[in-house]
């Protein structure tokens, strides 16, 4: 095997010397898979390998289960760079017949000697990060449930419990190592490629493949947690408490939640639930007093280390087809209750859908979560100001069969459009759409400030003039032309 550096240089010369020709998917991917296998052997999983199915179906939404031509599992940035450049370039991402670039085996986590930051590779999940940080009395702004991946949240925003004080996950990234579309590896931080640094904070997968993140480590050894569930009769009080919490959650105490109302198709039960977390050891956590005052069916308060909390929060994997659909609004409990009621009665229209698991999620966006980006000298692509709090209302729906996909898409999108229009008329609507809560039929970039999107496109055209990620990486939300 030639030295990696030599390979990168040779291939880069190739890429800059000519336009990209998108190869025929079948022949291109076959050719790429053969070349990758010749160079990397064991790092390439072919469709006949015993591990192929496990890797190709490692998703929480079984709609993502496809049949890539092969799966390339690099272990370092140099191998990622080479993959991008292997001529002919080929459609990648997770598509039938393409090359699936799986970064799962890039799993390094290194805590800086002064305990103030850590480096994390993209194959990690947030639970791995919290596990590595906890022995040092450290915590970080990442995913709220156990298995959420690191790279997505660092590139699309990232809702954690403690955002009201520490900002979104992307605001906590101090540096990104990026492989650009021509295979060049760059360090991206506030002084090195600062325009790209800004653009990556919300720019998703439009710019390059990130092979390392340097992230702020927070000295938070303990958190005060609460798990509460309620009867259906508590829904009005629960929604009231949610709207109050969204509007009254200033950064003097770091606190946040996962708030949802689930319908159980088998029992017909409606179950409101709260997962609440507050920085420190005051128990029960005072910020959730308005929830704690509602008679509950379960109220479990604890003071825990971050890893003790996160290791119990397993989201489902490979259970059903899952669709998110969401819009953003100002906190208004009267209106939120009407949106909830409409969702509940619309469940009748899909009651015959097999394996139906509908959840009405309320994701709070305290105004102060935007303060960090306004004051850290970097900002982010969302361009929010810190004067208005919001609530994202999200229909999260699971079901069993592909034959119901179109029906469920229409069910959610019609309802979403209707209530967004109502909110617009009441001047409650925000056009902001969080990528992590959005359906694939939504366009989150359309809700960013227009001048930010124009700037993001200009930056993309500088760093990816060949359009590698625009044309060859088909998944995710794209900036467009």
Ligand X SMILES: *[C@@H]1O[C@H](CO)[C@@H](O)[C@H](O)[C@H]1NC(C)=O
Ligand Y SMILES: Cc1cc2nc3c(=O)[nH]c(=O)nc-3n(C[C@H](O)[C@H](O)[C@H](O)COP(=O)(O)OP(=O)(O)OC[C@H]3O[C@@H](n4cnc5c(N)ncnc54)[C@H](O)[C@@H]3O)c2cc1C
Structure tokens at 3: 């030295």
| Helices 333-346 and 405-425, axial angle in degrees (round to 10) | 160
Whether 323 and 412 have beta carbons less than 8 Å apart is answered as yes
Q: What is the DSSP letter of 473?
A: B
Restricting to residues 9-28, which ones interact with ligand X according to CB under 6 A? 12, 16, 19, 24, 26-27
**Residue 46: which of ligand Y, ligand X, none does it interact with, CB under 5 to 8 A by kind?**
ligand X
CA distance 98 to 451: 34
Is residue 358 close enough to count as binding ligand Y by CB under 6 A?
no
To ligand Y, the closest distance from the beta carbon of 154 in angstroms equals 8
To ligand Y, the closest distance from the beta carbon of 314 in angstroms equals 9
Q: Of the two residues 185 and 424, which places its CB atom closer to ligand Y in the complex?
A: 185
Residues 310-339: x where in contact with ligand Y by CB under 6 A, - otherwise, as a string: -----x------------------------
Whether 251 and 165 have beta carbons less than 8 Å apart is answered as yes
Is residue 470 close enough to count as binding ligand Y by CB under 6 A?
no
| Near ligand Y by CB under 6 A: residue from 20, 31, 145, 350 | 145
To ligand Y, the closest distance from the beta carbon of 287 in angstroms equals 18
298: left (phi over 0), alpha (psi -120 to 50) or beta: beta
Structure tokens at 472: 């060859």
Residues 421-460: x where in contact with ligand Y by CB under 6 A, - otherwise, as a string: ---------------x------------------------
| Near ligand X by CB under 6 A: residue from 426, 431, 440, 458 | 426
CA distance 44 to 30: 12
CA distance 297 to 420: 33
| Near ligand Y by CB under 6 A: residue from 28, 69, 92, 152 | 152
Whether 277 and 291 have beta carbons less than 8 Å apart is answered as no
Is residue 97 close enough to count as binding ligand Y by CB under 6 A?
no
To ligand X, the closest distance from the beta carbon of 56 in angstroms equals 13
Q: Of the two residues 151 and 331, which places its CB atom closer to ligand Y in the complex?
A: 151
**Residue 136: which of ligand X, ligand Y, none does it interact with, CB under 5 to 8 A by kind?**
ligand X
Sheet architecture: strand order including 390-399: 298-304, 223-229, 270-279, 255-263, 357-365, 390-399, 321-329, 429-430
| Near ligand Y by CB under 6 A: residue from 209, 254, 362, 438 | 209
Q: Are strands 99-101 and 70-72 parallel, antiparallel or unpaired?
A: parallel
Whether 254 and 225 have beta carbons less than 8 Å apart is answered as no
Structure tokens at 97: 């017949």
Phi, then psi, of 263 in degrees rounded to 5:
-105, 130
Q: Of the two residues 152 and 284, which places its CB atom closer to ligand Y in the complex?
A: 152
| Near ligand Y by CB under 6 A: residue from 44, 70, 103, 247 | 103
Restricting to residues 207-236, which ones interact with ligand X according to CB under 6 A? 231
Q: Of the two residues 128 and 240, which places its CB atom closer to ligand Y in the complex?
A: 128
Q: How far is CA 75 from CA 123, 129, 146, 296, 399, in A?
A: 9, 18, 23, 48, 35
Whether 428 and 393 have beta carbons less than 8 Å apart is answered as no
Whether 95 and 475 have beta carbons less than 8 Å apart is answered as yes
Q: What is the DSSP letter of 125?
A: B
3-state SS class at 171: helix
Is residue 266 close enough to count as binding ligand X by CB under 6 A?
yes
Is residue 431 close enough to count as binding ligand X by CB under 6 A?
no
Q: Of the two residues 207 and 419, which places its CB atom closer to ligand Y in the complex?
A: 207
Q: Of the two residues 30 and 443, which places its CB atom closer to ligand X in the complex?
A: 30
Whether 235 and 303 have beta carbons less than 8 Å apart is answered as no
Structure tokens at 109: 């986590």
Restricting to residues 62-121, which ones interact with ligand X according to CB under 6 A? 73, 105, 114-115
Whether 267 and 206 have beta carbons less than 8 Å apart is answered as no
Stretch that binds ligand X, among 38-46, 151-159, 252-260, 300-308 (CB under 6 A): 38-46
| Near ligand X by CB under 6 A: residue from 147, 290, 376, 388 | 290
Whether 204 and 476 have beta carbons less than 8 Å apart is answered as yes
Residues 301-340: x where in contact with ligand X by CB under 6 A, - otherwise, as a string: -------------------------------x-xx--x--
To ligand Y, the closest distance from the beta carbon of 340 in angstroms equals 20
CA distance 29 to 92: 8
Structure tokens at 209: 């493949």
Binding site for ligand Y (CB under 6 A): 60, 103, 122, 143-145, 148-149, 151-153, 155-159, 204-205, 209-210, 315, 436, 475-476
Binding site for ligand X (CB under 6 A): 12, 16, 19, 24, 26-27, 42-43, 45-46, 48, 73, 105, 114-115, 136-137, 175, 180, 182, 184, 187, 189-192, 231, 244-245, 248, 264, 266-267, 287, 289-290, 295-297, 332, 334-335, 338, 354-355, 357, 400-401, 403, 426, 428, 462-463, 465-466
């Amino acid at each position: 095997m030639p030295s990696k550096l030599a390979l990168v240089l040779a291939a880069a010369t190739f890429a800059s010397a000519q336009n990209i020709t998108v190869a025929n998917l079948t022949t291109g991917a076959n050719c790429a898979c053969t070349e990758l296998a010749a160079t990397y052997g064991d790092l390439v999983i072919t469709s006949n390998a015993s591990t192929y199915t496990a890797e190709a179906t490692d998703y929480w939404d079984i709609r993502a289960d496809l049949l890539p031509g092969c799966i390339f599992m690099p272990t370092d940035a140099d191998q990622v760079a080479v993959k991008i450049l292997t001529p002919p370039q080929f459609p990648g991402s997770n598509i039938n017949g393409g090359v699936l670039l799986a970064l799962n085996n890039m799993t390094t986590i290194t805590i800086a000697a002064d305990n103030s930051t850590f480096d994390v590779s993209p194959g990690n999940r947030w639970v791995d990060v919290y596990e590595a940080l906890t022995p040092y009395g450290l915590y970080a702004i990442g995913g709220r449930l156990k298995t959420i991946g690191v790279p997505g949240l660092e590139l699309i925003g990232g809702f954690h419990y403690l955002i009201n004080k520490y900002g979104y996950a992307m605001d906590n990234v101090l540096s990104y190592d990026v492989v650009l579309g021509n295979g060049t590896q760059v360090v991206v931080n506030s002084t090195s490629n600062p325009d790209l640094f800004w653009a990556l904070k919300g720019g998703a997968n439009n710019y390059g493949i990130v092979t390392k993140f340097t992230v702020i480590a927070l000295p938070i050894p303990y958190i005060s947690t609460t798990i509460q569930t309620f009867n259906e009769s508590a829904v009005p009080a629960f929604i009231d408490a949610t709207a109050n919490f969204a509007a009254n959650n200033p950064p003097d105490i770091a606190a946040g939640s996962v708030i949802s109302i689930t319908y159980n198709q088998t029992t017909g039960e409606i179950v409101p639930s709260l997962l609440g977390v507050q920085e420190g050891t005051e128990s029960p956590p005072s910020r959730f007093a308005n929830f704690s005052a509602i008679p509950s069916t379960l109220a479990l308060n604890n003071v825990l280390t971050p890893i003790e909390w996160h290791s119990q929060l397993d989201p489902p994997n490979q259970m059903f087809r899952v669709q998110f659909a969401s819009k953003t609004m100002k906190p208004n409990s009267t209106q939120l209750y009407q949106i909830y009621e409409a969702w509940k009665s619309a469940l009748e229209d899909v009651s015959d859908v097999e394996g139906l698991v509908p959840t009405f999620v309320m994701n709070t966006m305290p105004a102060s979560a935007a303060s960090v980006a306004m004051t850290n000298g970097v900002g982010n692509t969302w361009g929010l100001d810190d004067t208005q709090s919001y609530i994202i209302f999200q229909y999260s729906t699971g079901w069993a069969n592909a034959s119901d996909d179109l029906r469920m898409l229409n069910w959610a999108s019609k309802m979403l459009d209707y209530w967004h229009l109502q909110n617009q008329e009441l001047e409650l609507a925000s056009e902001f759409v969080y990528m992590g809560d959005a359906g694939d039929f939504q366009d989150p970039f359309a809700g960013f400030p227009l001048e930010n999107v124009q700037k993001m496109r200009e930056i993309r055209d500088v760093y990816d003039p060949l359009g590698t990620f625009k044309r060859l990486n088909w998944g995710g939300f794209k900036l467009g032309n």
